[in-house]
Amino acid sequence: MRIGELAERTGTSRRLLRYYEEQGLIVAGRGPNGYRDYDEPTVDRVIQVRGLLDAGLPTRIIKQILPCLDKPRTIYFPDATPEMIATLEAERDRMTRRAECLLRNRDAIGEYLDAVREYNRVQV
């Protein structure tokens, strides 16, 4: 598919799709005219990238972890250097903390909303 379709299906501007490619987060084939040509799995890939970006990860990190997230596993394990492993472990832990922070505060918002609803119920 071409960039317009991918943009529409992922809710992402063309500009950003080109940016993600520049950052090495997605790859695109090229047609005989220089048009970019994307395959189907790229749709999910873009959605995944956006989720990670939205969750606060920078493209630099996303690029590092993306290869590990492929199913089925296609990675050539020997390439996993100790530094790489350490980076991944650190990032995994940071993601855990991030998620915990998010859920904790989300629950607090939920409690607040409950309290407001209760207040309104009694008041009305």
Partner DNA sequence: TCAAACCCTCACATTGATGTGAAGGTCTAC
Partner DNA sequence: GTAGACCTTCACATCAATGTGAGGGTTTGA
Q: Are 77 and 68 in contact (CB under 8 A)?
A: no
Q: Is 2 in the site for DNA (CB under 7 A)?
A: yes
Shorter beta-carbon distance to a copy of itself: residue 21 or 91 = 91
Nearest to 46 by CA among 73, 8, 75: 8
CA atoms within 13 A on the CB side of 77: 1
Q: How far is CA 17 from CA 8, 13, 51, in A?
A: 11, 6, 14
Nearest to 21 by CA among 70, 57, 63: 63
All residues at 6 or more sequence positions from 42 whose CB lies less than 8 Å from its CB, including other chains: 6, 26, 27, 28
What residues from 69 to 88 belong to the interface with a copy of itself (CB under 8 A)?
69, 71, 73, 75, 77, 80, 85, 88
Q: Do you find a cis peptide bond into 72, omega within 30 degrees of 0?
A: yes
Give the number of residues in contact with a copy of itself, rule: CB under 8 A.
39
Q: Binding marks (x or -) toward a copy of itself, 32..61, rule CB under 8 A?
A: ----------------x--xxxxxx-----
Q: Is 106 in the site for a copy of itself (CB under 8 A)?
A: yes
Which of 33, 97, 121, 124 binds a copy of itself (CB under 8 A)? It is 97
What residues from 66 to 105 belong to the interface with DNA (CB under 7 A)?
none
Binding site for a copy of itself (CB under 8 A): 48, 51-56, 65, 68-69, 71, 73, 75, 77, 80, 85, 88-89, 91-92, 95-99, 101-103, 105-106, 108-110, 112-113, 115-116, 119-120
